[in-house]
Amino acid sequence: MCGLCGFTGRVNERDTVLEKMTEVITHRGPDSVGYYKDDCISMGFRRLSIIDLDKGHQPIYNEDKSLVLTFNGEIYNYRELREELIALGHSFYTETDSEVLIHSFEEWGEKMLDRLRGMFGFAVYSKKDGSVFIARDFFGIKPMHYAVIDGQLVYGSEIKSILEFPLYKKSFNRRALDNYLSFQYVVPPETFFEGIYCLLPGHYLWYRDGSVKTTRYFEPTFAPDKSMTEKEAADKIEAAFENSVNAHKISDVEVGCFLSSGVDSSYVSTYFADQKTFTVGFDFGERYNEISWAEGLSKEIGVEHHTHLIGSEEFWSAVPKVQYHMDQPLADPSCIALYFVSKLASEYVKVVLSGEGADELFGGYTVYNEPHVFSAYQHIVPKGLRYALARKAKKWPHVKGRGYIMRGARKTEDKFIGNAFMYDDEEKRRILKDPSIVTRPQELCKKFYDRVKGYDEVTKMQYLDINLWMVGDILLKADRMSMANSLELRVPFLDREVFKVARTIPTKLRIAHGTTKYALRQAALRHLPKATAQKKKLGFPVPTRVWLKDKKYYDRVREMFTSETAEKFFNTDLIVSYLDDHFNGREDNSRKVWTIYVFLLWYGIFFGDDDKVLRPGTGS
């Protein structure tokens, strides 16, 4: 795993600029640094050595050195592609997957992407015509950002590299605050930095003659095989997943595994006998601590298990550092827990496998049960009456049945924007000083729903989550938190071969008998204890609602809510009332409070000083 950055054209003190852009992503690759420069481009690279430790330095070149590549990620079928390329006449000077990429591009151009199996973000520069080709993997496991400044391309694995480019004038993108408040993350391709964009998953970019054109080359669509039996589904999942895990374990360094009490990481861990697994938790009872579950499974499957109990002050002290590494605010508190488990693992291994993507591909979120739960209610109660009841219920206190009436009133496209829904448009207008930026989050989702009009409700929700939630939250925090600790994180569920199976599983075998991920659980049962394979999904629970009722942390947040930064963006009396209502037990506002707190903290780090980015924990 590595980090890359670069820019076209010339700037004053070019060498110093490139060094600064590369230095700020040292955490992505502390093992070595590499540069390429000519009159047209400057390319920087940081390496975390995983494959061909001695010779795999980058940038890397084709035979006549007319193409230059920097690459972040892993190509799991590189050995097969290497043999094919040798047969076509290509010669190699390393054993790396990076060199396979450069020859693949030379041989097949952009069509090379159809042949790859892996996770990647890479840039290829052509000396012949001065063009730059940049690609991002199918699901968005590895990141890539870019900007066009005065006709020149600037790019990087992380936004912080682009911020070091002197011709970029740092400017806050207010539009991003609108969708952040609804989704708890910034919806790509927008970022919080005006003019800097996220290259979307399954897309490539060509830079030619001062302009950028992006193209989608992969779309994760579903094609359910309704005739598939339960056994057939489990057989296919088991075979594809075992193949994927074995491919993802290819490395010249030791590979470990994250382990929670859930079925996803537990299933992965069954392929790690006599190796290392890692778990963290909080000292707030079983709801917030999966360590005992993980320890029990570890003994049963025979792995060396390592744990860390996160203290309250330890957690809160890490939040600024985490938000710095995130580049953009993410109001999912589990990203801090992920930072700690990555830190723990990095003390023992350089590579870990994890269970991200299983929920989106196989139907694992509890909310996917809703279409079935509400079907009878929506069939019996007329639409007009449902909406009238929902309007009344919205004014009720949090009593049993209130949520059912409110959510049951609307169709999926009107209520489901993903796994997090913080503030609706009415609430945003009340709390924001500038309500002109407010939009309905459903409008942003509409373009995705329009592409899956013929799908059933569950599949629509999965498609939306794969394109929004998984990219903006799940994979963003996985990459940033592992890389903050110079750790490579691999996700075997998000594999093209696994997806070929997942897309064919019928909905009746994804959600069945009141259980999510039903077919996947049946496959996992062949490897796991029944209690683990069938355990209800917890996610990565963090006790923020408990902490926000503690005077110590209440005061910390209240100080932020009444700050000059808060006054700039929010009606502070109202956001303080949200905090007070939670503290006094009148309403659980923990997620809404945390969303605003994280944004204000992040803003102070990246915009609190006009001249530089404040780097928590670095003394600057």
The answer to whether the CB of 450 falls within 8 A of the CB of 191 is no
- pLDDT higher than 60, residue 379: yes
Q: Name the pLDDT band for 12 (thresholds 50, 70, 90).
A: very high
Query: What's the pLDDT tens digit per position in 449-472?
Result: 999 998 999 999 999 999 999 999
Which residue type occupies 237? I
- Segment 314-339 mean pLDDT: 97
Give the residue numbers marked as catalytic: 5
Task: Give the pLDDT score at 619.
Answer: 40
- Say yes or no to pLDDT of 56 above 80: no
pLDDT at 539 over 70: no
Q: What is the DSSP letter of 287?
A: G
* Domain 2-214 of CATH type 3.60.20.10: yes
Strand residue runs (E) in 139-285: 145-149, 152-156, 197-198, 203-208, 211-216, 255-258, 276-282
Phi, psi of 91 (to 5 degrees): -115, 145
Strand, helix or coil for residue 611 = coil
The residues, any chain, with a CB within 8 Å of residue 13's CB and separated by 6 or more, are none
What pLDDT, in 10s, does the model give residues 116-135? Answer: 999 999 999 999 999 999 99
Radius of gyration for the chain, computed over Cα atoms and rounded to the nearest angstrom: 24
Residue spans in the chain of domains classed CATH 3.60.20.10: 2-214
Q: Please state which CATH class domain 230-363+467-533 belongs to.
A: alpha beta
Percentage of the chain modeled with pLDDT above 70:
95
Q: Tell me what pLDDT residue 150 has.
A: 93
**pLDDT surpassing 60 at residue 618:** no
- Mean pLDDT of all residues belonging to the chain: 92
**pTM score above 0.85:** yes
Of 329, 347, 371, residue with least CA distance to 476: 329
468-487 pLDDT tens trace:
999 999 999 999 999 999 99
Read off the tokens for 137. Answer: 């993997």
Lowest mean pLDDT among 191-195, 253-257, 397-401, 604-608: 397-401
Per-residue pLDDT band for 53 (boundaries 50, 70, 90) equals low
Does residue 253 or residue 324 have the better pLDDT?
324
Say if CB 155 and CB 7 are below 8 A apart. yes
**Separation between Cα atoms, residue 260 and residue 540, nearest integer Å:** 8
Give the residue range(s) of CATH 3.40.50.620 domains in the chain.
230-363+467-533
DSSP string, 369-402: GHHHHHHHHHHHS-HHHHHHHHHHHTTS-S-TTH
Comparing 136-145, 285-294, 436-445, 523-532, the range with the smallest average pLDDT is 285-294
pLDDT at res. 52? 62
Average pLDDT over residues 27-53: 89
pLDDT bracket for residue 367 (50, 70, 90): very high
Q: 225, exposed or middle or buried, with CB in 10 Å at 0-12, 13-18, 19+?
A: middle
At residue 295, does pLDDT exceed 90? no
Residue 390: pLDDT band with limits 50, 70, 90: confident
